Structure 1
Amino acid sequence: MLDTLIPRLQELTVILYATSVLLYFIDFLHHNRKANRTAFWLLLFVWLLQSFSLYYYMVEKGRFPILTIFEGLYFYVWVLITFSLIINSIRQVDFIVFFTNIIGFIVIVIHTFAPEQIGSTVLAEQLVSELLLIHITAAILSYGAFSLSFVSSILYLIQYNLLKQKKWGKRLWRIADLSKLEQFSYVLNIIGVPILMIGVILGVQWAHIKLPFVPWFDPKVIGSILVVVVYCIYIYFRIRKGMAGKALAMWNVAAFLILLINFFLIGNLSSFHIWL
C-alpha cells in the first residue's frame, strides 16, 4: 500500500510546495503578511511530508537514501527547506526564504517527474558504506549552506543597484540591509567550507579503501578541490584583504556557479563517481 501511497505523497508535496512558493511571491509583490504566514505553514507541511518520505526510503532500503542523484536531489531539497524554516523562525528574512525555495521547488520538480535511474541504484547498493554516506551527506549539507549564501549575495546585488539608482520603495526596505546580507552570506560560507572539506577528505579516504588507487586526476576530484579552493579564496579576501561590498558578492556568485558546473557538468565526466 505504501508503495502506491508514496508517489501520490510526492505529487501532493509538489502541489503544496508550488502553492507555498506562489504565496511567497504574492507577499514579495504586495507585502501580504497573511500570504506569508500561510506560505510558511504550507512549507512546514511540505517538510513533514518530505521527512516521512525520507524515513520510508531509509526503512525500505536499509540505509540513508542519498547514494544516487535521484535520492540526493530529494535530500538537497529537504536541506534547503530545513534551512529556510530555521532562518524564518530565528529572524524574519522573507526574501531569502522566497528565493531559496524557488531553487528548492525547481529541484523537487526535476526529482519528481524525472525517471529514476535503476542502474545507478543497483551500483549504489554495491558501494554503500558508512564512510560514503557521511561523505555525500557532508557535501549536500555544504551545498545547502552555499545555496543560501548565493541567494544572500544575489539579494545584496539587487539591493545595491536599487540604492545606487535611488529607487526607494517597499521592496527596498523589506530586503535586509547590505551589511546584514554580506555578513549572512559570509557566515554561511564559513559553515559550508569546513563541511565540504570534511566531505572531500572522507571521499578521498573512501576511494583509498575501496579503489586500487586514488584517482587524483579524475575530473570530479579536481572539480571538488577547485570548489573548496574558490570558497577558501573568498574567505581569505574577506578576512585578510578586507574585501567587501559588490566585489565580494560577485565573487560569491561566481563561486556558486563553479559549484553548479562541478555538480552537473564535471560530475558526468567522472570515471568512478555515482553522481556527487
Structure 2
Amino acid sequence: MSDIHMARLHELTVIIYALSVLLYFFDFIHHNRKANRVAFWLLAFVWILQTAFLLFYMVNTGRFPVLTIMEGLYFYAWILVSLSLGINHLLKMDFIVFFTNILGFIVMAIHIFAPHQYESHVLGEQLISELLLIHITMAILSYGAFSMSFVFSVLYLLQYDLLKRKKWGTRLVRIADLPRLEQFSYLHVVAGVPMLLLSLILGMQWAFIKVPEMPWYDMKVIGSFLLLAFYSIYLYLRIVRGMSGKSLALWNVASFLIVLINFFLFGKLSSFHFWYS
C-alpha cells in the first residue's frame, strides 16, 4: 500500500477516534448510554484499523513494531485503545475510559502527524498542513457551539427578566421556557469543550513540529487554555455544584467574552497564529 493511501487511512482513523472521544465525553458527564454505545463501536472500528495497520507493518518488515520511537508510540496507542474497549465492555468505568481515550488520542496524533516517518518529504509537509486544517476546523466548531450556548443564555436572561417584571405578551410566548433554554445552552457547552480540547491537542502537535521555538506564554495559547478553563468551570458548576438559573447564565455570557477576546484580540497579538489575523 502506498504512503499516500496509508496516510489517508491514518487521517480517517484520527477523525473517527475524535468522534468517539466526543461521544465518550458526552456520556461521561451526561450518562447517555446511547452515546456510549456509538462511541464504543466507533472505537472498535479504530481498533480494527489499528490492528490491520500493525499486521500490515509486521508482514512488510518481518518483525514486531517496537524498535523505534514511532513504532513504539503506535503500539502504545493500540494498547490504550484495546484497554479502553475492555474496560468499557467489562467494567463500565466511564471516568477511566474517557481519560484513557484522551491519552490514546494524543499518542496517535503524535505518531500519525510526525512527518519524518514518511519517505516523501512532500507527503510529510502535506500531512502537517492537514493537521493544521483539522486543528483550526475543530477550534471553529467549538467556537460555534459556544456561540449558540451564548445565544441561549442571553435568551434565558431576557426571559428571566420578562417574567420577573411580569411583562406578559407575545415576546414572552415566542421565547422558549427557562428550563429548555438552560438545557440547550448546557448541551452546546458539552459539545464545545471536548472539541476545543482535541483542537488544542492537535494544535500543540502542529506547533512542536512547525514552530519549535514558539513561546508558550503566547497570548493565543494562554487565551485558548483560559477559554477551556472557563467552560470547564461552567460544567463543574452545572454538574458537580448543581448551579443553575441566572448565575450560571451570567457565567456562560462571561465565558463567551473570552471567546471573542481570544478570537479577535489575542489572535492579533499572537506571534504565530497569523491565520486568524
- For the aligned pair, the TM-score class normalised by the smaller chain equals 0.5 to 0.7
Q: Under a length normalisation based on structure 2, what TM-score does the superposition of the two structures give?
A: 0.53
1:56 paired residue number: none
User: Which residue of the partner structure matches residue 80 of structure 1?
Assistant: none
- Name the aligned partner's letter for residue 138 of structure 1: M
Aligned length: 152
Tell me the equivalent position of 2:173: 173
Which position in structure 2 is the counterpart of 1:215? Answer: 215
Deviation of 1:127 after TM superposition, in Å, equals 11
Output the TM-score relative to the length of structure 1.
Answer: 0.53
Runs (4+) of structure 1 exceeding 6 A deviation are 125-128
Deviations 1:147-204 (A, max 9, x none): 1110000000000000000011111011010000000000000000000111111100
State, as a whole percentage, how many aligned pairs show the same letter: 68
2:275 aligned counterpart, secondary structure: coil
* Displacement after TM superposition at 1:214 (Å): 4.6
Q: Corresponding residue for 2:140?
A: 140
What is the CA deviation profile of residues 68-115 of structure 1, one whole-angstrom value per residue up to 9, with x for unaligned ones? xxxxxxxxxxxxxxxxxxxxxxxxxxxxxxxxxxxxxxxxxxxxxxxx
CA distance in 1, matches of 2:176, 2:237: 23
Shift of the 206–217 alpha-carbon distance from structure 1 to 2, 3 Å rule, reads: same
Q: List alignment gaps of at least 5 residues for structure 1.
A: 1-124
Kindly state the Cα deviation for residue 241 of structure 1 after the two structures are TM-superposed.
0.5
In 2, distance between residues paired with 1:210 and 1:252?
34
**Does the aligned pair in 2 maintain the 1:268–1:275 contact within 8 Å?**
no
CA distance in 2, matches of 1:144, 1:271: 24
SS state at 2:274 partner: coil
| CA offset digits 1:122-143 (Å, max 9, x no partner) | xxx9997111000000011111
Unaligned runs of 5+ in 2: 1-124
Q: Contact between 1:204 and 1:214, CA under 8 Å: does it hold in 2?
A: no
Q: How does 1:255-270 map to 2 (within 5 A)?
A: 255-270=255-270
Give RMSD over aligned pairs. 1.8
Which of the pair has more CA radius of gyration?
A: 2
- Contact conserved, 2:152 with 2:181, CA < 8 A, in 1? yes
Q: How does 1:209-248 map to 2 (within 5 A)?
A: 209-248=209-248
**Separation in structure 2 between the aligned mates of residue 231 and residue 263 of structure 1, nearest angstrom:** 15
Is residue 138–residue 199 contact of structure 1 (8 Å, CA) maintained in 2?
Answer: yes
Alpha-carbon offset, residue 213 of structure 1 = 3.5
SS of 1:129 mapped into structure 2: helix
Task: Return the letter of the residue paired with 1:173.
Answer: V
